[in-house]
Amino acid sequence: QTVLGIESSCDETAVALVAADRRIIAQRVASQDDAHRPYGGVVPEIAARAHAERIAPMVAEVMEEAGMELADLSAIAATAGPGLIGGVMVGLVSAKALAMAGDVPLIAINHLEGHALSPRLVDETLEFPYLLLLVSGGHCQILRCEGVGQYRRLATTIDDAVGEAFDKTAKILGLGFPGGPAVEKLAREGDPKAVPLPRPLVGGKEPHFSFAGLKSAVLRAKDSGRYSNADIAASFQQAAIDCLTDRLERAIANDGHAPALVVAGGVAANASVRAALEALAAKHAMRFVAPPPKLCTDNAAMIAWAGCERLGQSDPLDYKARPRWPLDPEAEPARGAGV
Ligand code: ATP
Ligand code: MG
Ligand code: FE
């Protein structure tokens, strides 16, 4: 059984063919970094147009590489939200057209569920429940994953996501776009103790996150002219990691403990973040699972895999794209909730 996945929620156009036995048969990720770089961030209209130009030829490519036809597919899975609505609509409408043409079921996937289930694509022994740190460009959450579609949110950010903090730090340091990998690279040359930076919410009783204050402190450090870019990058990265591990410690102490600690989302590509989490997992006798970096940042293999996890589901062809779509609808938005 094979699922075609389509991802277009931000600035990566991605398609993939994944088999239910966890084989990634073919995949493509087309980044739009060059198109957005002049603007220092993702421009939604440019992203939507680029997705529209690329999806059809990329689908044709992976199908040809696999020697498959639409009728051979068990389902077509597409990101239906959350994300930049123009791009999501382009990917979803492409999937609908293919589903109709091939008479194949459509499965609408929550992009965050794609990230959340991606570790199960690469580790067949990873069972529910597991404790998930979801760290990406738009989200910073701790979730207890109890089953497919069953996610209990234990924490979220009250302001910025951690990936956003990496991107803003890169901008402040003039490292360009996208920022996360550039900060990680420069941080290797710096002293993580050189710049005193805050660790917002560390020690707090609820495991929530906050990164806005850290970003402002990075800006002040840069403006002071007293520190090298490498020292600022290293100190920022260390502060961010300290926040992530402290908040996870809190979630585990509250009621988050599970047999495995799992990390997913773009920031999970960061080697220092992974090392810190691996150590934390060991300390709590939890198994640690992280997808390879290429499956941490946006890709369609994770969307196709989420489709594999949901085989049997068939969504209507008038399914609406959702700009906002929380994984845990029960969870109150923490924004402004006064944690
Ligand atoms: P979301 O998944 O919340 O909708 P998104 O899809 O835009 O957001 P991802 O593609 O999952 O986000 O992750 C992108 C983020 O990950 C960016 O903020 C980027 O800076 C960050 N990132 C990528 N690589 C690294 C790295 N090596 N170190 C730190 N951050 C990184
Ligand atoms: Mg991107
Ligand atoms: Fe993402």
- Report the chain's mean pLDDT, rounded to a whole number: 96
Cα(227)–Cα(223) distance, integer angstroms: 9
**CB of 298 closer than 6 A to ligand 1?**
yes
Per-residue model confidence as pLDDT tens digits over 199-244: 999 999 999 999 999 999 999 999 999 999 999 999 999 999 999 9
How close is the Cα of 9 to the center of ligand 2, in Å? Answer: 9
The neighbourhood of ligand 3, an ion, using CB within 5 A, equals 136, 298
Per-residue model confidence as pLDDT tens digits over 163-206: 999 999 999 999 988 899 999 999 999 999 999 999 999 999 99
How close is the Cα of 94 to the center of ligand 1, in Å? Answer: 25
Q: Is the pLDDT of residue 337 over 90?
A: no
Q: Which ligand is nearest to the CA of 12?
A: 2
Q: Which atom of ligand 1 is nearest to the CA of 139?
A: 3
CA-closest candidate to residue 75, choices 315, 326, 320? 315
> Which residue carries 């988050």 as its tokens?
256
**CB of 113 closer than 6 A to ligand 1?**
no
How close is the Cα of 316 to the center of ligand 1, in Å? Answer: 31
Provide DSSP, 10-30: SSEEEEEEEETTS-EEEEEEE
CA-closest candidate to residue 214, choices 188, 185, 247, 181? 247
Q: Which atom of ligand 1 is nearest to the CA of 82?
A: 4
How close is the Cα of 105 to the center of ligand 1, in Å? Answer: 30
Q: Which ligand is nearest to the CA of 134?
A: 1
Q: Which pLDDT score is estimated for 332?
A: 55
Cα(212)–Cα(84) distance, integer angstroms: 22
Q: Give this complex's ipTM.
A: 0.98
Q: What is the largest CA-CA distance in the chain?
A: 63
